């Protein structure tokens, strides 16, 4: 009896198999990069939004020798659904943070 000849895969078949195996990890990597980039941009926008608040906090401290108890004392309405949060720690210190929906919040002192 004659043995069957081994199947010889063509270069085209090998290339399709390679592309098929590489496509999914590549797609997942690109999606992860896009999501991380979006989070970074959102964090940068929030960080920029805190700059005027920090300036107002420092101006209040220069005038009254302490930080305000709430942001409303410097004319900022603190809404529950805002991404930026404030807490006076001591007369000479405060925490200003944003985020807290997913992941670690960014805290400024």
3-state secondary structure 63-77: HHCCCCCCHHHHCCC
Residue 86 belongs to a domain: yes
Residue 2 belongs to a domain: no
DSSP string computed for 12-70: HHHHHHHHHHHHHHHHHHHHHHHHHHHHHHHHHHHHHHHHHHHHHHHHHHHHHSS--SS
pTM to 2 decimal places: 0.57
Residue 103 has pLDDT above 50, yes or no: no
Range of the domain at 34: 11-108
Instruction: Say how many domains are in the chain.
Output: 1
Residue 81 belongs to a domain: yes
Residue 1 belongs to a domain: no
Confidence of residue 9 (pLDDT cuts 50, 70, 90): low
Residue 46 belongs to a domain: yes
Residue 90 belongs to a domain: yes
Residue 34 belongs to a domain: yes
How do residues 47-91 score in pLDDT, each as one tens digit? 888 888 889 999 999 999 999 998 889 988 766 666 778 888 888
């Amino acid at each position: 009896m004659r043995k069957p000849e081994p199947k010889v895969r063509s270069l085209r078949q090998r290339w399709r198999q390679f592309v098929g195996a590489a496509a999914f990890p590549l797609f997942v990597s690109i999606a992860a990069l896009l999501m991380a980039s979006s989070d970074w941009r959102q964090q940068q926008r929030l960080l920029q939004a805190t700059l005027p608040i920090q300036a107002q906090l420092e101006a209040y401290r220069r005038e009254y020798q302490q930080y305000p108890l709430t942001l409303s004392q410097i004319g900022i309405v603190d809404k529950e659904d805002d991404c930026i949060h404030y807490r006076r720690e001591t007369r000479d210190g405060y925490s200003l943070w944003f985020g807290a929906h997913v992941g670690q919040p960014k805290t400024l002192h």
